[in-house]
Amino acid sequence: MSAAMWIHALLWLVGLLLLIAVVTVMGVWWERKFIGHLQRRRGPLHHGFHGLLQLPADMVKMISKEDIVPDSADPWLFQIGPLMVVVPAIAAMAALMFAPGFGLLDMNHGLFYIFAFQTLLPLGFAVIGWSCASKFTLIGALRAAAQLISYEIPMLLAALGVVVAAGSMRLTDIINAQAGVWYIFKEPLGFAIFGIAVLAEMNRTPFDLPEAESELVAGYQTEYSGMKFGFVQLAEYSVLFTGSYLVSALFLGGWNMPFLPASPLWLLLKIVACMTMTMWFRGTFPRLRVDSLMSLSWKWLLPIALVNIMAVAALALALPGIY
Amino acid sequence: MVNFPRKGVEGSTETMLLNVGPQHPSTHGVLHMMCEISGETIVSAKPVIGYLHRGIEKLAESRTWQQDIVLTDRLDYVAQFSNEWAYCRAVERLAGIEVPERAEWLRTLLVEMNRITSHLIWYAGVTMDIGALGTPFIYAWVARERIFDFYEAVTGARVMPNWMRLGGVHTDIDSAMLKEMRDFLERDFPVEVDEYEALLVGNEIVQSRMKGIGVFSAEQLVEWGVTGPALRASGSERDLRKDVPYGVYDRLDFRVCTDDVGDSLARCRVRLAEIRESARMCVQIIDGMPGGDVRAKVSRALKPPVGDVCVRTESPRGELGVLVASDGTTKPLRFRVRSPIFYNLSAMPHMLPNHLLADMLVIFGGIDTSMGEIDR
Amino acid sequence: MFGSGLLKGLGITLRHALGRPVTELYPFEHKNPPANSRTFIAMHVNEEGAPACRACNTCIVGCPDRVLKLVKDPDDPKRAVEFVVNSGRCTYCGLCVENCPFDALYFTQDYERATRDKGALIYHLIEDGACTHEGEVDRP
Ligand code: SF4
Ligand code: SF4
């Protein structure tokens, strides 16, 4: 690799980390604000413009907190657990494309790369839950692992429908293929499945069982405090961002907008809209029960996703110009 | 460590003891639940109580009859007026005190409002328990806050009113305030109850969680000593307000809210129906309120004759019984509370086995615990 | 139809999100409690500016929590030289104010007396036979 490439990669890396920081700050702020108003409250108000600086203040608090390691915890796994969640969550973001040719890695299998890293997450959660040697974290971790693995399959199958239609795994190609009609209109079923599965992947209500507060205190993160807890939160927001990005890119046309020139602005808008949707759900719905969560995935989403991908493939063969 | 009887669950290998509480987000106070679980299925459960014990029954023996009303507020701190009324009725019967007509109406009014606020707290808690991040919680809290403003304006305090006195009530409610209450309960409040209903029993996720969970028959529940809305959701018509009318209940037109399914969803429906019914009753009471005195003259050094009296009332959580015994002095010989929640909670070991851990909260919400009264 | 309840729920929360918040911005905005709300105890003065208390002891006997303390004037049993309120023990039940036959006590509507110092919760209503006016507040 030449020096220019190294510099390019380094700049992007810094950029992405900055993006994650900004996304987390803005995301948490917006979540608090929006849910606050859903609940007839005002949300953060006093630090900075309408409480915008609340999260940085919280971060400082988190960093300065005592780093508590439970006596019975496995010292090594307890330390590396958060990293095993943060690293894949951030690594997955390397393949995101924000405009044609504008992204760290425009891989020709970008989608595959993102999913590959996301599949590593359950492992991290399992390690976190196991290392704490607490019953609540253990149950939370097993729930997280079971949930992420069972929802991955319908999610991948639904995404595969898009790949079949676009004929490529490169994100740029997929998005450019939606310059005319977005895939949400061509594959509404796939969109529904993908949306539900992504919600579950992101651990958001109504699928937030791994951290079900009323049952499991805080699920797998119960024993974490200080910056380690912050890391787990960071991973969650990265996953939230990636998930919203995927929904916008695969089904909502990415940077395309009908009758208007393509621009990364649209993509950003769609991501924010998707994130807001998840917050709205979070503010309204209770959570599912463990067994209905599983049966939803295996009994409903999976068969429907299989039907969907076959239908899409058949349509793509039958009407090559349209699909 | 408690040795649980080992019951084999099919396909299980080994059970695990999970201590839920006493510090846990959803035990509503400080309840400690020892659950033996196999996977996520509860094999056996055992409530451990006593973390909130303040010795109220004993404390009452060292205070005068009037001073004990202060303590009754602290029994079930979400249904303060009900407790006060039960105690006052017991002592009034023991000492033969006549209560003025208007005072009876006022008492009934605030007790019914209290039933609303108590059920609102139940609503807030149960929605929180099933994971709704506090949105319905705060909606219920907003309406409760309105009613608490009335409490404060009438009694002088929001949570610990100490408003009833032996022989009547402390302060009268003027007609402007009554009108304000009536406006709120008749016009604004039912709209909000519609919202509560839509967010809880109208929500499909809630239905999938509650339907068919914790189905108990009325006979079972009676055997376990369960009373109140939890019993009425199983088809029983048992309601002391109708069965042995006290206060002015015999002059009000209301129906006992029942449901015959007997599952957790039915218990929610019954409580929501009771909220509506209580609001209707309050409006009736305000319309029918007679004028007159609100407090009979009772000596401060009251010495009821020797004897004892037991009184039953329908508190928001079930049958609240109060026994007072007098030895003819200014202090009670014995003050004993039959707490409905204590008996409802005692049914937990029968109710919980073979349910999932997540169902525990749903069943728990169905009986609406309040630790202040259990531990006393 | 399945899902209509979910949509209705979303509609309800959205409507509230667009409506006005109900929060009271407490330390920035003060709400005055109703006139009969019970907080800290204060003492009335009579026409001559002397404390209205006639040292009859009714309030002290009637208090369930032994909050009040009274020292009588040895020369004049109807005059209190000292009247101490240990408000840290008070449950604000209102019995003292209600029981006083001379209407000497009343409740203020002051709810901002939180302190880190337990001693600060003890205050005198009468000191050396004169009203100290402690416990009274003038709120804007
Ligand atoms: S309000 Fe009650 S507790 Fe406080 S001083 Fe008066 S009688 Fe005692
Ligand atoms: S304050 Fe009232 S009740 Fe208490 S001693 Fe003085 S006059 Fe008597």
Domain range list for chain A: 1-64, 70-318
Find the angle CA(A118)-CA(A122)-CA(A125) to the nearest 5 degrees. 125
Report the nearest atom of ligand 2 relative to the CA of C55. Answer: 5
Is C8 part of the contact surface with chain A (CB cutoff 8 Å)?
no
- Distance between B332 CA and the closest CA of chain A, angstroms: 42
CA separation for the pair C55, C67 (Å, rounded)? 15
Short-list B244, B313, B76, B69, CA closest to B169: B69
Model confidence at B224: pLDDT above 60: yes
Helix, strand, coil abundance in chain B, percent, nearest 5 = 50, 15, 40
Mutate to test the pocket of ligand 1, among C90, C108, C113 (most ligand atoms within 8 A of CB): C90
pLDDT confidence of residue C139: 46
Q: Which residues of C touch B152 (CB under 8 A)?
A: 33-34, 37
Please name the residue that has the structure tokens 């023990």.
C89
Confidence class for position B356, pLDDT limits 50, 70, 90: confident
pLDDT confidence of residue B11: 53
pLDDT in tens, chain A (323 residues): 678 888 888 888 888 788 778 877 888 888 888 888 888 888 888 877 787 788 788 888 888 887 777 777 777 888 888 888 888 888 888 788 777 777 777 778 888 888 888 888 888 888 888 888 777 888 888 888 888 888 888 988 888 888 888 888 888 888 887 877 787 777 888 888 888 888 888 887 777 777 766 666 666 777 777 778 888 888 888 888 888 888 988 888 778 777 777 777 888 888 889 888 888 888 888 888 878 888 888 888 889 888 988 888 888 888 776 66
- Distance between B150 CA and the closest CA of chain A, angstroms: 21
pLDDT digits (tens, 9 = 90+) for B63-108: 888 888 888 888 888 888 988 999 999 998 888 888 888 888 999 9
The rounded Cα B129 to chain-centroid distance in angstroms is 18
Average pLDDT over all residues of chain B: 84
pLDDT confidence of residue C140: 39
- What separation in angstroms does the CA of A83 have from each of A123, A303, B25, B44? 11, 35, 28, 38
DSSP string, B222-266: HHHT--THHHHTTT----HHHHS--TTGGGS-------SS-SHHH
C-alpha of residue B373 to centroid of ligand 1, in Å: 23
Instruction: Count CB-CB contacts under 10 A for residue A167.
Output: 11
Substitution target from C6, C7, C22, C23 for chain A, most A beta carbons within 10 A: C23
Report the nearest atom of ligand 1 relative to the CA of C105. Answer: 6
Q: Report the residue from B71, B145, B153 with minimal CB separation from C34.
A: B153
Prediction pTM value = 0.85
Q: Which residues of A touch C18 (CB under 8 A)?
A: 37
Neighbours of chain B (3+ CB pairs under 8 A): A, C
Model confidence at B193: pLDDT above 50: yes
DSSP string, B62-75: TS-TTTHHHHHHTT
pLDDT digits (tens, 9 = 90+) for B21-37: 777 766 677 788 888 88
A285 and C19 in contact by Cβ < 8 A?
A: no
pLDDT confidence of residue B233: 87
Kindly state the DSSP code that residue C38 receives in the 8-state scheme.
-
Sequence-distant (≥ 6) Cβ neighbours of residue B92 within 8 angstroms: B99, B166, B167
Model confidence at B3: pLDDT above 60: no
C-alpha of residue C49 to centroid of ligand 2, in Å: 16
Which SS3 state, helix, strand or coil, does residue A16 take? Answer: helix
Mean pLDDT over residues C76-83, rounded? 82
Model confidence at C97: pLDDT above 50: yes
Is C22 part of the contact surface with chain A (CB cutoff 8 Å)?
yes
Mean pLDDT over residues B148-166, rounded? 87
Please give the ipTM for the structure prediction.
0.81
B204 and C2 in contact by Cβ < 8 A?
A: yes
- Distance between A184 CA and the closest CA of chain C, angstroms: 20
Rg, Å, chain B Cα set: 21
Short-list B122, B20, B21, CA closest to B76: B122
pLDDT digits (tens, 9 = 90+) for B286-328: 888 888 888 888 877 788 888 888 998 888 888 888 999 988 8
Short-list B212, B231, B211, B213, CA closest to B221: B231
- Is C97's C-beta closer than 6 angstroms to any atom of ligand 2? no
pLDDT confidence of residue B5: 46
Cβ pairs B/C, distance under 8 A? 65
Confidence class for position B203, pLDDT limits 50, 70, 90: confident
Instruction: With beta carbons less than 8 A apart as the criterion, state whether B368 and B45 touch.
Output: no
Domains of chain C: 33-131 (3.30.70.3270)
Q: Kindly state the helix (H) or strand (E) to which residue B165 belongs, with its residue range.
A: strand B164-165
Model confidence at C1: pLDDT above 80: no
Please name the residue that has the structure tokens 């029954």.
B57
Q: Which residues of B touch A41 (CB under 8 A)?
A: 138
Span B56-374: which CATH code? 1.10.645.10
pLDDT confidence of residue B4: 45
Mutate to test the pocket of ligand 1, among C38, C65, C105 (most ligand atoms within 8 A of CB): C65
Is B256 part of the contact surface with chain C (CB cutoff 8 Å)?
no
Mean pLDDT over residues B126-148, rounded? 84
Is B359 part of the contact surface with chain A (CB cutoff 8 Å)?
yes
Model confidence at C30: pLDDT above 50: yes
- Euclidean distance between the first and the last CA atom of chain A, given in angstroms as a whole number: 39
Q: Which residues of C touch A283 (CB under 8 A)?
A: 13
Pocket of ligand 1 (CB under 6 A): C 63-65, 67-68, 90-96
Is B166 part of the contact surface with chain A (CB cutoff 8 Å)?
no
Report the nearest atom of ligand 1 relative to the CA of C93. Answer: 2
Cβ pairs A/B, distance under 8 A? 78
Confidence class for position B55, pLDDT limits 50, 70, 90: confident
Q: Report the residue from B145, B157, B202 with minimal CB separation from C8.
A: B202
> In terms of CA atoms, which chain C residue is nearest residue A41?
C21
Report the nearest atom of ligand 2 relative to the CA of C70. Answer: 5
pLDDT digits (tens, 9 = 90+) for C106-120: 888 877 777 888 888
Q: Give the start-to-end residue ranges of the domains of chain B.
A: 56-374
Ligand nearest to the CA of C43: 2
Model confidence at B111: pLDDT above 60: yes
Substitution target from B162, B164, B197 for chain C, most C beta carbons within 10 A: B162
Q: Report the residue from C6, C10, C21 with minimal CB separation from A40.
A: C21
The residue type of A183 is Y
A280 and C10 in contact by Cβ < 8 A?
A: yes
- What separation in angstroms does the CA of A235 have from each of A24, A226, A323, C111? 9, 15, 36, 44
pLDDT confidence of residue A212: 64
C-alpha of residue C102 to centroid of ligand 2, in Å: 7
